[in-house]
């Protein structure tokens, strides 16, 4: 620690910290444009010039490390004259179009110019004009406003790992541009809008929709993946105008994936279902809520008595709220059936009894970037978990990443080892790594692991598996790391022998001293497990008298009645064709949906309009087990109701007990109460597979903008290259240490 003085205030800080970092930590304001705490130091704008005793010229606070005894002045006449001169230069070519700029009212340039700008410009020459770039359907450009801070360039290189923007030209001819006139196709491209300190980069879907001071701000949580990114939702007159990130270092830092940012469009730019509808003589008719729910309750009650409760099943989308799934399972189990599931993308349920209480990553999200090594199995993080991919990329600054998958993947980070295999030999690849690790164990270590695993059975299982150099390299990478992790992705979970994969992965983790976990599907799979939206366990992992059928059997064997919650199985299930066929052949189907163009109109008997994720209160639980609750940002349109309210009334009409909830918070308290009563009773178990099947298969990966109904109906996202299947071209991979020098 060293002692310095800033504006007469004595401060102790770590040696090597920059002046601007120390000032920020102590509440001292220094103006800046190019500096950002998540990006490398560029020192382009010079707006942060300060006076340092002993220096004859002003120094940039962002690029000047502190030293013991340093005296810094940020408010002296010398410092302020320097800052005002820089401000004058920045405004020389900046257009005077604040009245029509979407950044107006929240523009860093406006804020700083108010204090450091002059009221009269001495510049009388013609201003520079720059031709706008077409960066795609998500980002609007007005490049004449650009002040060359290069935040957007550094974000692409250092954070996103995809080099799409750069600076071309020199002097007054310098422009921020794509090098070969292509769109910005990164799955996290919208973050450059937040980074831009002026109005050069703004959100295209919300252009000219509202001014910043007109909008109200509500907090929410993204439903599209298990990370649970925190959102600020900006609304005007009960309409969502835009979505921006809410800072949470433990979850999403300050970033958002594009699907988190733009999926709100589906609320207003898709065809919303406004009234309950019933199929009468093959035709759809609008009815009131009382008629629709009474018809639904009467039919379900009758079928439970005549056909048996086992002929009734419920399917929920894994992005439904915890409260919605808890009430859905309570209704179905109240009728006498345990046929409820949310695992639309799961193929193998053989080992579900050995699962933990809920899906886990095995390591905190905030610790992903500090891993020494990580083995990814069947994971395409860029497409499946974009924000987790950013953290894993940071881990490559000091650690190593290896991957085993079924097809080549363009990651946004460098891989030290990579095995591309087919489904026939996938299990063999993991078995070979496990075999090498077993051979590396000494007797005392084997005794240690014998309590957790049957090592003799494992040795027999892998005895005839050939071990190659690539298997040894991956195993040694894990063994030589102090902090390592095994992480499974979507392809591994959807594999026909996913249970075998998970057990072998767990064995590798145990033998190498690594953590083990996986990224579940949807935004609230963890909440679904805790709420009891699975057939073999009740809420909080409680035992059930008789296991219900998992979702694959429900569709393959067929049921007479289905209740669907915010899902279109014909588009989302891993066996989509079979799912649609079963629903079409069912006697009675109830669908709770937000959309008037839902596939349910082809097979349902009653369709109920429910609120979207921004129109309801509820909670999501992310893969670290963090509960995140939220309130409605806007009201649902017309007669659409929050799904938890619909299920509450349905439970009352079915004469089920304890359905007198008055708020989503009351439902949530009941779920948490059951959790605290049960405690940590469910422990994951390991059992050695009997063999290594060779006839496995994995379904085709789902496009990242097709995983739920909101994304499928967001026009701007569907216009992107990623939605249309045009992959990002492979660019030269950059070192994570790469910094920008001289504006690229």
Among 519, 545, 571, the domain-final residue is 519
Residue carrying structure tokens 């980002």? 139
207 & 310 share domain: no
Segment (H or E) for 202: strand 201-203
What is the reported pLDDT for 737?
A: 38
- Residues 324-348 have a mean pLDDT of 96
DSSP for residue 728: P
Angle between the N-to-C axes of helices 469-479 and 426-440, in degrees from 0 to 180, rounded to the nearest 10: 60
Q: Record the pTM.
A: 0.93
* Domain boundary, last residue among 669, 687, 702: 669
Looking up residue 25, the CATH number of its domain turns out to be 3.10.20.740
Q: Report the 10 Å Cβ neighbour count for 456.
A: 11
- Residues 609, 611, 617, 622, CA torsion sign: positive
pLDDT of residue 1: 87
Closest CA to 265 of 236, 245, 242, 234: 242
- Dist. CA 332–CA 337, nearest whole Å: 6
Q: What is the pLDDT of residue 512?
A: 92
347 shares its domain with 249? no
How does pLDDT run across 411-447, given as a tens digit for each residue?
Answer: 999 999 999 999 889 999 999 999 999 988 875 565 5
- In this structure, the answer to whether residues 347 and 369 fall within a common structural domain is no
Helix H or strand E segment including 94: none
Same domain, 147 and 233: yes
Mean pLDDT computed over 734-741: 37
Same domain, 13 and 143: no
* Residue 268 in domain: no
618-656 tens-digit pLDDT: 999 999 999 999 999 999 999 999 999 999 999 999 999
Rg (CA), the chain: 28
Residues 502 and 542 in one domain: no
pLDDT tens digits for range 108-128: 999 999 999 888 888 888 888
- To which residue do tokens 């099943």 refer? 313
Q: What does 528-594 look like in DSSP terms, one character per residue?
A: HHHHT-BTTB-GGG---SS----HHHHHHH--SEEEEES--HHHHSTTHHHHHHHHHH-SEEEEEES
Q: What is the CATH number of the domain that holds 128?
A: 3.30.70.20
Say whether both 193 and 48 belong to one domain.
no
Structural domain total, the chain: 4
Q: With pLDDT > 70 as the criterion, what percentage of the chain qualifies? A: 95
Domain hosting residue 664, numbered range: 277-354+523-588+614-669
Range list of H helices, 367-468: 381-384, 386-395, 426-440, 443-449, 455-462
DSSP H helices in 264-401 = 265-269, 289-306, 322-334, 381-384, 386-395
| Angle between helical axes of 455-462 and 426-440 (0-180°, round to 10) | 130
**CATH number for the domain harbouring residue 538:** 3.40.50.740
Give domain status of residue 692, yes or no. Answer: no
pLDDT at 182: 79
Dist. CA 649–CA 249, nearest whole Å: 39
**Is residue 684 situated within a structural domain?**
no
Please give the pLDDT value at position 318. Answer: 96
Please tell me the distance from the alpha carbon of residue 410 to that of residue 407, in angstroms, as a whole number. 10
How far is Cα 167 from Cα 150, in angstroms, rounded to an integer? 8
Looking at 92, 114, 137, the residue that finishes a domain is 92
**Closest to 350 measured CA to CA, from 562, 546, 495:** 495
How far from each other are the two terminal CA atoms of the chain, in whole angstroms?
34
Domain containing 378 — which CATH number? 3.40.228.10
Same-domain pairing of 178 and 245: yes
| Higher per-residue pLDDT: 122 or 733 | 122
Angle at 503 between CA 500 and CA 505, to 5 degrees: 105
Question: Could you tell me the two tokens for 576?
Answer: 């989509």
Predicted local distance difference test score (pLDDT) of residue 121? 83
Q: Are residues 86 and 141 in the same domain?
A: no
Q: Judge whether 723 lies within some domain.
A: no
Judge if 238 and 102 occupy the same domain.
yes
Dihedral of alpha carbons 607, 612, 617, 619, sign:
positive
Q: Give the position of tokens 């963890």.
A: 526
Whether residues 194 and 225 share a domain: the answer is yes
């Amino acid at each position: 620690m060293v002692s310095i003085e800033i504006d007469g205030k004595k401060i102790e800080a770590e040696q090597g910290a920059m002046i601007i970092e120390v000032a920020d930590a102590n509440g001292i304001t220094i103006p800046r444009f190019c500096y950002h705490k998540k990006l490398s130091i560029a020192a382009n704008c010079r707006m942060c010039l300060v006076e340092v005793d002993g220096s004859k010229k002003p120094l940039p606070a962002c690029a000047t490390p502190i030293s013991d005894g340093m005296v810094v002045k940020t408010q002296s006449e010398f410092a302020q004259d320097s800052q005002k001169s820089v401000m004058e230069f920045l405004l020389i070519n900046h257009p005077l179009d604040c009245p029509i700029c979407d950044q107006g009212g929240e523009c860093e340039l406006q804020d700083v110019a108010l204090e450091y700008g002059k009221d009269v410009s001495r510049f009388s020459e013609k201003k520079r004009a720059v031709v706008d770039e077409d960066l795609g359907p998500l980002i609007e450009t007005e490049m004449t406003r650009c002040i060359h801070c290069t935040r957007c360039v550094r974000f692409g290189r250092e954070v996103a790992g995809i080099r799409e923007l750069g600076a071309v030209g020199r002097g007054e001819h310098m422009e921020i541009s794509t090098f070969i006139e292509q769109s910005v196709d990164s799955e996290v491209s919208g973050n450059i809008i937040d980074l831009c300190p002026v109005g050069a980069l703004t959100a295209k879907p919300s252009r000219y929709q509202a001014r910043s001071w007109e909008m109200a701000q509500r907090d929410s949580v993204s439903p599209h993946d298990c990370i649970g990114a925190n959102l600020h939702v900006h609304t005007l007159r009960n309409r969502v105008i835009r979505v921006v990130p809410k800072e949470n270092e433990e979850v999403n830092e300050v970033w958002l994936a594009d699907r988190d940012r733009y999926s709100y469009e589906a609320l207003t730019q898709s065809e919303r279902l406004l009234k309950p509808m019933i199929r009468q003589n093959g035709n759809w008719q609008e009815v009131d809520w009382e008629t629709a729910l009474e018809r639904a309750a009467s039919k379900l009650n009758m079928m439970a008595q005549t056909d048996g409760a086992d002929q009734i099943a419920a399917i929920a989308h894994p992005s439904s709220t915890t409260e919605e799934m808890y009430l859905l399972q309570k209704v179905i189990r109240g009728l006498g059936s345990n046929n409820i599931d949310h695992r639309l993308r799961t193929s193998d349920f053989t080992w579900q009894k050995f699962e933990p209480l809920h899906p886990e990553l095995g390591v905190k999200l905030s610790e992903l970037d500090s891993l020494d090594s990580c083995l990814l199995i069947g994971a395409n993080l860029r497409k499946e978990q974009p924000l987790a991919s950013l953290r894993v990329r940071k881990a490559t600054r000091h650690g190593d990443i290896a991957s085993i998958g079924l097809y080549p993947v363009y990651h946004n980070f460098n891989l030290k080892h990579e095995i591309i295999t087919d489904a026939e030999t996938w299990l063999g690849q993991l078995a070979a790594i496990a075999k090498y690790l077993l051979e590396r164990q000494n007797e005392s270590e084997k005794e240690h692991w014998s309590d957790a695993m049957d090592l003799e059975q494992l040795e027999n299982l892998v005895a005839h598996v050939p071990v190659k150099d690539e298997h040894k390299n991956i195993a040694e990478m894990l063994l030589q790391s102090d902090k390592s992790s095994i992480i499974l992705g979507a392809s591994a979970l959807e594999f026909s022998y996913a249970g075998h994969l998970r057990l072998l992965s767990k064995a590798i983790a145990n033998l190498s001293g690594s953590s083990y976990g996986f990224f579940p599907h949807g935004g609230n799979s963890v909440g679904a497990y805790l709420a009891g939206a699975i057939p073999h366990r009740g809420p909080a992992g409680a035992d059930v008298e008789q296991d219900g059928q998992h979702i694959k059997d429900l569709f393959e064997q067929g049921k007479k009645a289905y209740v669907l919650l915010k899902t279109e199985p014909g588009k989302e299930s891993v066996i989509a064709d079979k799912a649609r066929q079963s629903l079409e052949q069912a006697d009675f189907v109830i669908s709770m949906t937000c959309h008037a163009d839902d596939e349910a109109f082809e097979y349902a008997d009653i369709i109920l309009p429910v609120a979207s994720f921004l129109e309801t209160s509820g909670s999501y639980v992310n893969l670290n087990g963090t509960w995140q609750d939220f309130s409605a940002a806007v009201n649902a349109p017309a007669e659409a109701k929050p799904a938890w309210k619909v299920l509450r009334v349905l439970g009352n009409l079915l004469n089920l007990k304890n359905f007198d909830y008055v708020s989503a918070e009351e439902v949530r308290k009941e779920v948490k109460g059951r959790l605290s009563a049960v405690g940590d009773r469910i422990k994951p178990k390991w059992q050695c597979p009997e063999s290594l099947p060779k006839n496995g298969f994995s379904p085709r990966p789902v496009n990242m903008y097709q995983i739920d109904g909101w994304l499928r109906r967001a026009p701007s996202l569907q216009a992107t290259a990623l939605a249309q299947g045009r992959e990002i071209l492979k660019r030269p991979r950059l070192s994570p240490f790469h910094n920008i020098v001289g504006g690229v």
